Amino acid sequence: MSKTSILITCSLLLALHYAKSGNPERVGQAGASQLLINPYTRNMGMVGSNSAKAMGLEAQFLNVAGTAFTRNTEVLFNRTAWLMGTDININTFGITQGLSETSSIGFGVVAIDAGKIDITTEEMPEGGLGYYNPSFYNISLSYAKMFSDNIYGGINMKVINEQIPNAAAKGVALDAGIQYHTGKYNNIHVGIALKNWGPKMSYRGDGLTRQTSVNAFTGNYEMTVNNRSGAFELPTMVNIGASYDLYLHWDSTEAHKHNRLTFNGTFTSNSFTYDNGLLGLEYAWHEMLMLRGGYYYEEGIGSVDTRRTALTGPAVGITIEVPFNEKHSTFGLDYSYRTTNPFSGIHSFGFRINL
């Protein structure tokens, strides 16, 4: 077997192994759940259903193999108002840089501002002592390579940090993915990605200590005791996706794709919660105006009595991307919206520059 065949076979076996890993009985047993939040505006407009075709820095979240499509330089910034009314905001920025005709590296930061939370104690459970601001951030460094005209693969290392006053949890996680692109016009896409694989995390810090009285033979003594925090696992998951590009019009030389309609689908197998089905549709006019829609599905999401998430399913998005020099560099503006109940939805704005 060729190296390419071995790589595809191993990826499929890995995906089949994890495809049965969804386990509702383990809900709540994993930590670092912010790793499950899609922070990228374009992806969000299709609920992340485009894992087989995601390209550039946004592919770091869905399938890191897609970062290999960056030939020069891409700079991106997104800001997401998560669950309007909760004062939670997500800032995402980063860069991908082509190293050669076949490889690229990427650097991305996802920072979550969880807003102000009342400080409470056993004596003052209603607060009144001020506020604190939890902070969460993930730093990603990726490498991706084109192994052939059809096969792309990549790996992504993430540093994870969760912090409250006087206590923090730090960890690392690994993502790996592969994309296969084929068809007469390179319009059929398949992708498999393993995400958030890594060792357990636990909280440490002075915030876990307390003063206590110890009764000894010579009397009572005040001592500082450290309470150990239990370790928690990361929310490991697998994305298995497929996309198909339907070109509605070609010019006489078949050199330019004027109108593109892309159908996207992804199955997400979660180790610590319900599995998800993601569907998305994207229309592109001259790759300058893009309209998107998507639907997120998990068991019970159709009824308020059985739904276990604030997400209600639908999402929409739009992109305007225009060239600005002779080198065909582009500047793009993105917007996406996802419906929720309760709260007032999720709004995400972003811009990117491709040099």
- Backbone phi, psi, residue 341, to 5°: -155, 110
For domain 3-197+236-354, give its CATH number from 2.30.30.140, 3.80.10.10, 3.40.640.10, 2.40.160.40.
2.40.160.40
Closest CA to 93 of 72, 81, 111: 111
Confidence at residue 96, expressed as pLDDT on a 0 to 100 scale: 97
Confidence at residue 11, expressed as pLDDT on a 0 to 100 scale: 54
Confidence at residue 19, expressed as pLDDT on a 0 to 100 scale: 46
Return the beta strands (E) in 147-288 as ranges.
151-164, 167-182, 188-197, 203-204, 209-216, 219-226, 237-250, 257-270, 276-285
What separation in angstroms does the CA of 324 have from each of 94, 122, 187, 328?
21, 60, 27, 7
pTM of the entire structure?
0.87
Instruction: Locate the domains of the chain by residue range.
Output: 3-197+236-354
Give the Cα separation of 230 and 215 in Å (integer): 27
Return the beta strands (E) in 37-102 as ranges.
73-82, 88-98
Q: Walk along the chain (355 residues) in steps of 10 and give the mean pLDDT of each run.
A: 51 50 68 92 95 94 95 95 93 95 95 89 83 92 94 95 91 94 90 93 86 72 79 92 87 66 94 91 94 94 88 96 88 97 94 94
